[in-house]
Structure 1
Amino acid sequence: MLHTSGSKAGRTPAPIEPASSVRLLTQAPHRAGFFLGGSVLLLALLWWLLELVGRSYGFSLSELPASFLHGQLMLSGFFPLFMLGFIYTAGPKWLGVVPPATVAWLAAILPYALGSVGLLLATRLPVLWPLASTLQGLAWLWACLIWGGRIHVSTAPDRKHAMLILVAFALGAAALGLYAFIAVSRQWQLVHHAETLLLWGMLLPVFMIVCHRMLPFFSANVLQPYQTWRPLWLLYGMVGGVWLHGLIHLMGLPSYLLDAGLAGLLLYTSWRWRLVRSFKVPLLAMQHIAFLWAGLGMAVLVLETGPFATPIIGAGYAALHALALGFMLSMLLAFVTRVTLGHSGRALIASRLTWTLFWCLQALTILRLLGEWVPSLRTPLLLATAVGSVLVMGLWSVRYLPMYTQPRPDGKEG
């Protein structure tokens, strides 16, 4: 079972004062990044659920094109906050340098979170859209400078993962800058380019980079015997393949041959990283299952865009949601749970609730794909997915978000 806080058995812990909670949020980057990211995630999912309900009654809650804002919120709203919380906490250890100063990383995370909230408010107050998008872009530029500075002062012999993340962050800055331009100019035809640049330029590559570095490491800690397998060519193949797909897509050229090769590489990697053996440890299995969706998502993309695509399979966004829900959101739930438990001094054990919520998210991913493949059931399946996502991430948040405002049970800082 997970450890709980309290000075002595049978004694109720004293309530935590609001000022103390704020202080604890600023004690480590992952506390602030994960707490704010989780909060924005919940708000974004709830807004989209209300928007879908409104559509079923023939009206929209948004003064702006809701589908465009949905894409922007789901890509730029919360994933970057989780990334900053993790990379500013774990990254300095990779590089053998001191972490960035609290005031420095707060100056990136807080404005970015305000920009995300501004995007939500812009659904009813369109004047906030350019302001919120610009704030996100400026905050992310500062975040890139902080990370680049940590790399610059590092003398660690292996900085490859850190450098690739910096490149991905820079592409993310370009995507956020494009979003800000769209918000000001209303050049709607560029939205697809911004989404492509953010998803294939930053989000997916960062997830791939972190998986390459951390997933074999986590596996080796709990699966014995375990032979760590993470060659550099695999890192460059995964990240380079994703970047190349994004470039080809922006050029309007077919990419199904590349996508098929990348799908095969990712599925092979899932096997080499011992997906089946990981089921012995649910906390680890969640990460392996989430990674499996990366290969499955690319395989679905081939079905959607390749020479054998049918009008039904190729008509929707099944691959996008396999990657976004199945891979990225599932990995976020699994990885953030693991990091939260580890950095809060709690036992590295997935509770029954967490394990159940994770499998519910897998079922919701399948429902979302069926919403693309079964047009006659599209509306009820979309609503079911939206309701389920709010419930799953809401229950996860109730369990884990309070941990970021509480002292570590072992009395340590961090």
Structure 2
Amino acid sequence: MPNMLSVTFPPQGKAFFSYGFRPFFLGASLFAGFAVPVWILVFAGFVEMDFPYPSREWHVHEMVFGFLPCVITGFILTAIPNWTDRPPVSGWPLMLLFILWVAGRLSLACPWVPGVAAAIIDSSFFLAVAGVVWREIIAGQVWDRSPIGILISLYGIANILFHVLALGNQETNLATRMALGLLMVLLALIGGRITPGFTEDFLAEANIAKPPAAFSPFDGISILLIAAGAVAWIIQPQHVATGWIFIVAGLANIIRLSRWHGWVTWREPLVLILHVGYGWLALSLLILGGSILGFGLQPEDAVHALTTGAVGSMTLAVMTRATLGHTGRPKKANQVTIVMYLLVTLGTLLRVFGPLTEISTTLILSLAGIAWSGAYLLFATVYGPFLLQPSLDDE
């Protein structure tokens, strides 16, 4: 039986829907590049948007449950063949998944779509992704990847809870904390695997005899501390014990990061940015713990250290590296890629620490948003053609 993809798609369409990273990385970068400026205009009072939810709820939802899952889906769908030795999800199934994600973004931005309908459309994407992940885990018998399937499923439940609360005109903080807590654990699991792994590859190629420390019980404890802090934060966000768990988790993960010898990777920004991202994760834990205990920055600053810093840095790191590697290009960061990394870092620094200055909050947040979203627009501009075109290995 002929392959449907090869029969019905033109060459560019065949390439674009051949691997999960292609549509979802491009979609995420374009969405981040435009959704953040829209939010800035709404926040500053220059534009009025009639979203199904209040504008702040829309912004929180679309970054936590719109942008982030798009990147995560692209990464997981690309990694699954390596986990299972099965063909990648491609062709029409991949295209339908991507259309479902786009439909969720459009439905939540259009005032004429009823809130319940928008919630159903958006939630169905998570259900579809979770179904695909579990299907591949079961078919490939890779039960050691079950934690990823569990976390994705719980993420989908948190999204449904967000919609239920928002539609009932209730605070959505619980659902948001659930998602961010799951995100912390995901970053600790996935970031804790790829960061030392790619560092080891780089050091071997550079003939530097200083490999990262192998996974040990200390790494497991560092991850469990994050998980414990996340659960405590979801249940008792202002309890003193929650604050101290996060402080200990942050310190443990700083030590974990130091064992990977990231400072040696300064020659290759493609690897160094992963260490920067994991550093933001550890720092976000410390800021969150400190804010709960009553000293340091505010909880929202910790959230942005996690989202704009850890997520922003690590997603760009994964997106650039995977795009280069899977399209047959050298895995080296060029000058434009370095600018992307600098912009996302600048945006995070301004967003997290800018409010401490005497500069106008609106100006600080605007500059932070422009820098951060600019990094993703650059990715879409420079790496977009790579994602649309066939791999150089196929030419």
Residue 50 of structure 1 corresponds to 41
In the alignment, the residues of structure 1 paired with residue 29 and residue 344 of structure 2 have an alpha-carbon distance, to the nearest angstrom, of 16
Residue 151 of structure 1 corresponds to 137
1:107–1:396: structure 2 CA closer, same or farther, 3 Å change rule? closer
1:151–1:238: structure 2 CA closer, same or farther, 3 Å change rule? farther
Report if aligned partners of 2:280, 2:309 keep a CA contact under 8 Å in 1. Answer: yes
Give the one of 156, 181, 187 matched to 2:169.
Answer: 187
Report if aligned partners of 1:283, 1:349 keep a CA contact under 8 Å in 2. Answer: yes
Report if aligned partners of 1:26, 1:32 keep a CA contact under 8 Å in 2. Answer: yes
The equivalences for 1:363-402 within 5 A come to 363-374=346-357, 377-402=360-385
> CA offsets per residue over residues 307-328 of structure 1, 9 Å max, x none?
5x16xx33x5111111111110
In the alignment, the residues of structure 1 paired with residue 50 and residue 224 of structure 2 have an alpha-carbon distance, to the nearest angstrom, of 37
RMSD, aligned α-carbons: 2.3
Is the deviation greater in 243-252 or in 401-410? 243-252
Deviation of 1:102 (Å): 3.7
Deviation beyond 4 Å, 4+ runs, structure 1: none
Secondary structure of 1:317 counterpart: helix
In the alignment, the residues of structure 2 paired with residue 138 and residue 385 of structure 1 have an alpha-carbon distance, to the nearest angstrom, of 32
Secondary structure of 2:18 counterpart: coil
Residue 293 of structure 2 corresponds to 306
Residue 106 of structure 2 corresponds to 117
> CA offsets per residue over residues 75-95 of structure 1, 9 Å max, x none?
111221121112112122123
1:47–1:293: structure 2 CA closer, same or farther, 3 Å change rule? same
1:197 aligns with 2:178: yes
Secondary structure of 2:82 counterpart: helix
1:174–1:282: structure 2 CA closer, same or farther, 3 Å change rule? same
Give the one of 211, 219, 233 matched to 1:249.
Answer: 233
> CA offsets per residue over residues 376-414 of structure 1, 9 Å max, x none?
6322111111222232322222111221111222326xx
Residue 335 of structure 1 corresponds to 318
1:36–1:280: structure 2 CA closer, same or farther, 3 Å change rule? same
In the alignment, the residues of structure 2 paired with residue 60 and residue 367 of structure 1 have an alpha-carbon distance, to the nearest angstrom, of 25
Report if aligned partners of 1:175, 1:194 keep a CA contact under 8 Å in 2. Answer: yes
Report if aligned partners of 1:30, 1:88 keep a CA contact under 8 Å in 2. Answer: yes
Residue 195 of structure 2 corresponds to 215
Deviation of 1:232 (Å): 5.5
> CA offsets per residue over residues 169-201 of structure 1, 9 Å max, x none?
011111111123234x33322x11111111112
Residue 95 of structure 1 corresponds to 84
Give the one of 14, 27, 31 matched to 1:23.
Answer: 14
Secondary structure of 2:162 counterpart: helix
Give the one of 309, 320, 331 matched to 2:303.
Answer: 320
Deviation of 1:337 (Å): 0.4
- Aligned-partner residue type, residue 156 of structure 2: A
The TM-score, its normalising length taken from structure 2, stands at: 0.88
> CA offsets per residue over residues 17-74 of structure 1, 9 Å max, x none?
x954333211111112212222222231231122133x2x5x6434542111111011
Report how many aligned residue pairs link the two structures: 379
Residue 246 of structure 2 corresponds to 259
Give the one of 381, 391, 395 matched to 1:408.
Answer: 391
1:319–1:126: structure 2 CA closer, same or farther, 3 Å change rule? farther
Deviation of 1:100 (Å): 3.7
1:390–1:153: structure 2 CA closer, same or farther, 3 Å change rule? closer
Deviation of 1:230 (Å): 4.3
1:127–1:262: structure 2 CA closer, same or farther, 3 Å change rule? same
Secondary structure of 2:328 counterpart: coil
In the alignment, the residues of structure 2 paired with residue 227 and residue 163 of structure 1 have an alpha-carbon distance, to the nearest angstrom, of 28
In the alignment, the residues of structure 2 paired with residue 396 and residue 378 of structure 1 have an alpha-carbon distance, to the nearest angstrom, of 27
- For structure 2, list consecutive stretches of 5 or more residues without a partner in the other structure: 1-8
Report if aligned partners of 1:37, 1:81 keep a CA contact under 8 Å in 2. Answer: yes
Report if aligned partners of 1:364, 1:385 keep a CA contact under 8 Å in 2. Answer: yes
- For structure 1, list consecutive stretches of 5 or more residues without a partner in the other structure: 1-17
Residue 124 of structure 2 corresponds to 138
Report if aligned partners of 1:371, 1:377 keep a CA contact under 8 Å in 2. Answer: no
Identity %: 20
Secondary structure of 2:27 counterpart: helix
1:147–1:384: structure 2 CA closer, same or farther, 3 Å change rule? same
In the alignment, the residues of structure 2 paired with residue 195 and residue 213 of structure 1 have an alpha-carbon distance, to the nearest angstrom, of 25
1:275–1:67: structure 2 CA closer, same or farther, 3 Å change rule? same
Deviation of 1:276 (Å): 0.6
In the alignment, the residues of structure 2 paired with residue 62 and residue 371 of structure 1 have an alpha-carbon distance, to the nearest angstrom, of 29
Deviation of 1:329 (Å): 0.8
Residue 231 of structure 1 corresponds to 215
Deviation of 1:305 (Å): 1.6
Secondary structure of 1:188 counterpart: coil
Is the deviation greater in 271-280 or in 41-50? 41-50
Report if aligned partners of 1:40, 1:113 keep a CA contact under 8 Å in 2. Answer: no
